[in-house]
Amino acid sequence: MKARHVPMRTCVVCRDKKPKQELLRVVRTPEGEVHVDLSGRLSGRGGYICSSDHWGDGQVRAKLGHALKVELAQEDIVRLSESAGKTQN
Ligand SMILES: [Zn+2]
């Protein structure tokens, strides 16, 4: 087996390092909008979340907002968790 380099990213909520593919990317676009980045190709400042459980974490708003350097409202968290949820089965 070849040892391939797996890109690792840190979850902004629990600080665990995981392979990038296992994480959900959230991005703040240059326009200041925050989206779940399903393609992994949106430009902007990104943050990673390792588990959909984190959306219910009381600290997710502050931690994600800090990572993205944006002020997030609870409505933003709800919206993001809903668009993230659609991708999971
Ligand atoms: Zn996590």
Global pTM value? 0.88
Q: What's the gap in Å between 20 CA and the centre of ligand 1?
A: 12
Residue 27: inside a domain: yes
Domain residues for the domain of 69 are: 8-85
E-assigned strand segments in the chain: 8-10, 17-19, 24-28, 34-37, 45-49
Residue 37: inside a domain: yes
What was the pLDDT predicted at 86? 66
The CATH number of whichever domain residue 76 belongs to comes to 3.30.1230.10
Q: What's the gap in Å between 33 CA and the centre of ligand 1?
A: 22
- Domain total of the chain: 1
Instruction: Determine phi and psi for 62, rounding to 5 degrees.
Output: -70, -45
- pLDDT tens for residues 31-60? 999 999 988 889 999 999 999 999 999 999
H or E stretch covering 38: none
Q: What's the gap in Å between 48 CA and the centre of ligand 1?
A: 8
Looking only at Cα atoms, what is the longest distance across the chain?
46
Residue 1: inside a domain: no
Measure the CA–CA gap between 57 and 37, rounded to whole angstroms.
20
Residue 79: inside a domain: yes
Q: What's the gap in Å between 55 CA and the centre of ligand 1?
A: 10
Residue 3: inside a domain: no
What was the pLDDT predicted at 85? 82
